[in-house]
Amino acid sequence: MITVESELRSKSVGNQTWKEIQQQPSLWPTTAQRVDTAIAEFQLDSKLKAARVVITGAGTSAWAANSVSPAWPKSRAVPSTDLLVETERYVDDMDVLLSLARSGNSPESMAVVDRVHKLRPDIRHLAVTCNLQGALATSPLVSAIVLDPRANDQSLVMTSSFSNLVLGGLCLTKNEKVKSSISKAVLNAQKSIPEINQKMEKLARRVEDRILLLSSGAMFGWA
């Protein structure tokens, strides 16, 4: 039975998700700027240039890692759950561990950092996260890049957090290319979102059960 309270709650969650979807393009320049500042602060240009990087994340953030990896030479994406139980398999071929995380509080996120540090204290730990108070952002073992707090999605679905985590990872490896194209990307996205929403509304009215997304290569994580 659907009560008035549950219907209002559903609408509230939906409105929050829609707000977070729409705000994405306005946040992308702030992400690029914060990563640019961190590159200078942590002197990452030289340290990441030839580094072997493992990019990790928990849950949906693992798919963000999967989306970044194809653009990053000498990198591989490994979900934090896999990395935690098979750490020895990866540490010998790792110079940098890059954690992508919305909250940074998933138990396996810090467990991976702690385990890698115990096995190889020389490995550099970086994180791109949306939560200033999260465990990753506050860990003394991690050089954290904290994104605009608006990217810390409050709804169940990761939207702002996902695209900004991916963008943050891309900025770390393709910073100049991202900076030169971000204004155009913002304008294109702001123009496209209303049109995409109209098409999705029409599609949703036709679908009774589920939608299957097909993709491969660099777009697989986005799908």
Q: What is the pLDDT of residues 167-200, one digit of tens each?
A: 999 999 999 999 999 999 999 999 999 999 999 8
pLDDT tens-place string over residues 38-63: 999 999 998 998 999 999 999 999 99
Among 8-12, 13-17, 75-79, 135-139, which is the least confidently predicted range?
8-12
Alpha-carbon distance of 81 to 132, in angstroms, equals 23
Residue 96, H or E segment: strand 96-101
Q: Band of the pLDDT at 212, cuts 50, 70, 90?
A: confident
pLDDT tens-place string over residues 107-122: 999 999 999 999 999 9
Rounded mean pLDDT of the chain? Answer: 92
Output the CA–CA distances (angstroms, integers) from residue 133 to 4, 42, 139, 146, 149, in the order listed. 35, 20, 10, 10, 10
Question: How many other CB atoms sit within 10 Å of the CB of residue 78?
Answer: 24
pLDDT tens-place string over residues 125-168: 999 999 999 999 999 999 999 999 999 999 989 999 999 999 99
Alpha-carbon distance of 223 to 211, in angstroms, equals 11
